[in-house]
A and B are shown apart, each in its own frame.
Chain A
Amino acid sequence: MSEREASPSGKGKLALYWAASCGGCEIAVLGIDDKILQVAEAFDIIFWPCVMDGKVRDVEKVPDKGIDLCLFNGGIRTSEQEYMARLLRRKSKVLVAFGSCAHEGCIPGLANLSSKEEIFQTAYHDTPSTDNPQGVEPQPETKVPEGTLHLPVFYDTLKTLDQTVPVDYYLPGCPPEPERIWDALTAILQGELPPPGSVIGATTTVCEECQRTRHEKKIKEFKRTWQIIPDPDTCLLEQGLICAGIATRAGCGALCPQVNSPCIGCYGPNEGVQDFGACMMSAIASVIDSDDPEEIERIIEQGIPDPVGTFYRFSLAHSLLRRGRLKGSGNGRVPVVADAAVEEG
């Protein structure tokens, strides 16, 4: 990196952060094995809360653009995460949305099918493992004799990193494969980066990496993974399993089809695709072998009981619609259309 700040060690500064995500991305960084030592040779890691001690206050004191590279994983679900996203954006020359959550919302984004109230109801009251006899829920403000205590505000809708602040690059995957992380780090270290706003990765689909043989696909019945033991050599979609390899960006080496399991789309949409689910719907609709409206409806309803989880498993928050319709009032908000959804059931 030519414009690197001269730090006492002559190295660049690296920050890693973890917002609404499972933590797998943090492990994935360590998956580059001893190459992490090369990273440490090139960068001073100044902030990485998962791995080393460090204070937000120290980041706040870094001059703007004083961090050369920030790898940010996780979506934005709370005011604190939004604060950290803005802070790290301001302090970083290059901000990378690292992994599916930062890129597309991923599994935490599927909670966009619920409102904040519904999520709290499940998490603090309904789950069998919850022991909360007084029905306590986290409050953004609590008065105590010493003053007022604050907790981050929980949003109704999870946002992706680029719906929150401008992002320079995306590293897809849940989590990104270590080889791809290393490719990206090498590109960054050597200053050989694609134009800002790009996904650092392949521009083909998982199907291209998949070794299975393909024929014309004509489906009369979609199958769930537990219903059949698929033939190991034939395209899974041809066998009726919904495989997202057709819409998903290559990069993993077709890991899931290799072990006889359909791709579920963790690498996100291939280049040029705006809405992953729309691409999936279009492709999956095309393989249905029927021209009869009733038969088509039956094939779809029986074979795809959870269309959002099937077509938007990793990408709901980043989709054109971003979430399911709010029925309850989230954060005290009265929904726009209260009765229409009910009217039709």
Chain B
Amino acid sequence: MSDETFEPRIVGFLCNWCSYRAADLAGTARIHYAPNVRIIRTMCTGRVDPTFVLKALALGADGVMIAGCHPGECHYLEQNFKALRRYQMLKHTLRALGIEEKRLRLQWASAAEGAQLAAAISEMTETVRRLGPLNWRDNWDEGDRYEQAIESLAREHAEALEVPA
């Protein structure tokens, strides 16, 4: 489904030490990039619990980006490798739930790579735009479509289950 007017909502978890600064740099350098990512600053990609990603998708995000320091440059030793393993594990599970793996992206971007991060954001925005809205809640929320069936039970019981004295 390609909906040209659809503006994806992407949640970005950006590491404080690199990618968050890269986003800042992209801003101050006036690099043009898609405005679709809502940025949440984390201290490290290792802080990004899979719960955060699932919660973002459950609450209406169309995609999630996790961005942090390049391998070997994490400020907390090897936490970005942990992030890499979690990301792969998440993708594996999301796929099994019917969610396209391209809705989740792991991006390395150092504090100096404002242009690279901006390009990744624009690219991901286009990818998710092509995939279309996720609208996860509509997937399970059945609203009040069963209300009538439920209420009719009470009525039927009152009519049919009364044993005359």
Contact = CB atoms under 8 A, between A and B. Distances in A.
Interface stretch (B17-25, B32-40, B109-117, B137-145): B137-145
A340 B88 contact: no
A83 interface: yes
Contact of B54 (A60, A156, A297, A319): A319
Contact of B140 (A157, A311, A338): A157
B42 to A, nearest CB: 14
B107 to A, nearest CB: 13
A278 interface: yes
A52 interface: no
A164 to B, nearest CB: 10
A56 interface: yes
Interface string B141-165: 0100110011011101110011000
Contacts of B96: 306-308, 324
B88 A285 contact: yes
B146 A153 contact: yes
Interface string A198-219: 0000000000000000000000
Nearest to A163: B140
Interface string A285-327: 1101011010011001100101110010000000111111111
A35 interface: no
Given A275-B51, A282-B86, A293-B84, A153 B99 contact: no
B82 interface: yes
Contacts of B85: 285-286, 288, 290, 296
Contacts of B49: 278, 282
A3 interface: no
Interface string B48-72: 0111011101100000000000010
Interface size class of A (residues with CB under 8 A): 35 or more
Contact of A337 (B89, B134, B154): B134
Given A79-B150, A140-B149, A286-B85, A278 B51 contact: yes
B98 A291 contact: no
A16 to B, nearest CB: 20
A80 interface: yes
Interface string A35-62: 0000000000000000000011100100
Using C-beta atoms within 8 Å of the partner chain, give the interface range for chain B.
Answer: 35 or more
B90 interface: yes
Interface in A317-345: 319-327, 331, 335-341, 343-344
Max count, chain B CB within 10 A of own CB: residue among A55, A80, A275, A331: A275
Contacts of B50: 275, 277-278, 281-282
Contacts of A304: 92
B131 interface: yes
B78 to A, nearest CB: 8
B29 interface: no
A114 to B, nearest CB: 11
A274 interface: yes
Given A56-B157, A278-B51, A291 B81 contact: yes
A150 interface: yes
B136 A321 contact: yes
Contacts of A282: 49-51, 86, 89
Contact of A325 (B58, B90, B97, B101): B97
Nearest to B103: A340
Contacts of A291: 71, 78, 81, 84
A285 B146 contact: no
Nearest to B161: A57
21 contacts: A57-B157, A83-B153, A152-B149, A274-B51, A277-B93, A278-B53, A282-B86, A284-B89, A291-B71, A300-B88, A311-B93, A320-B51, A322-B58, A323-B97, A325-B97, A327-B98, A331-B142, A337-B134, A340-B1, A341-B100, A344-B100
Interface of A: 55-57, 60, 79-80, 82-83, 86, 112-113, 140, 150, 152-153, 155-157, 274-275, 277-279, 281-282, 284-286, 288, 290-291, 293, 296-297, 300-301, 304, 306-308, 311, 319-327, 331, 335-341, 343-344
